[in-house]
Amino acid sequence: MVAIFVSKAGHIATIPHNEQRTVTADWYSTICLPKVITELRKINPERRIILHQINAGSQTAQKTRQYLTEENVELLDHPPYSPDLSPNDFFTFPRIKNRLRGQRFQSPEEAVDAYKNAVLNLPANEWNNCFENWFERMQMCINLRGEYFEKQ
């Protein structure tokens, strides 16, 4: 399992969860997020950080929210039950899945490396298009008053 973080400019970080267990608030707030925040601050220490994440328990836990508050990270909330508004669900995963289709890996580490390489090889303009599409999808969700729109 990996946690992937991207921006309009492209890949920020891919954090593997080596223990192959459920993602907990402890792992997310003490291992995963600190790596991501460090990477973002390397890119531009002065820029504010706005994080969009789905409503998984590890991401909504008090421990996670406290860590993000301490790091001055703003949250962009995700509506419940809205996979059509998650860039990973409608953009990243389908593209990477197509690139990795048919390959076999000898170890979880090899699979994570292949995933990360596929993400890193996506052109910057595709990430920009992803975010533009995301904004259009959010507007569609507003227009349809929160109804699922993927199949419409």
Determine, yes or no, domain membership for 62.
Answer: yes
Determine, yes or no, domain membership for 152.
Answer: no
Determine, yes or no, domain membership for 73.
Answer: yes
Range of the domain at 133: 2-143
Give yes or no for residue 147 having a pLDDT over 90.
no
**51 and 75 Cβ atoms separated by less than 8 Å:** yes
**Residue 102 pLDDT level (bands cut at 50, 70, 90):** very high
Domain of 111, CATH number, reads 3.30.420.10
Determine, yes or no, domain membership for 70.
Answer: yes
Mean residue pLDDT of the chain comes to 83
- Predicted model pTM: 0.71
Determine, yes or no, domain membership for 149.
Answer: no
Determine, yes or no, domain membership for 84.
Answer: yes
Taking only the tens place, the pLDDT of each residue in 32-88 is 999 999 999 998 889 899 888 877 778 888 999 999 999 999 988 777 666 667 777
What is the structure's pLDDT at 7?
Answer: 82
- Domains identified in the chain, total number: 1
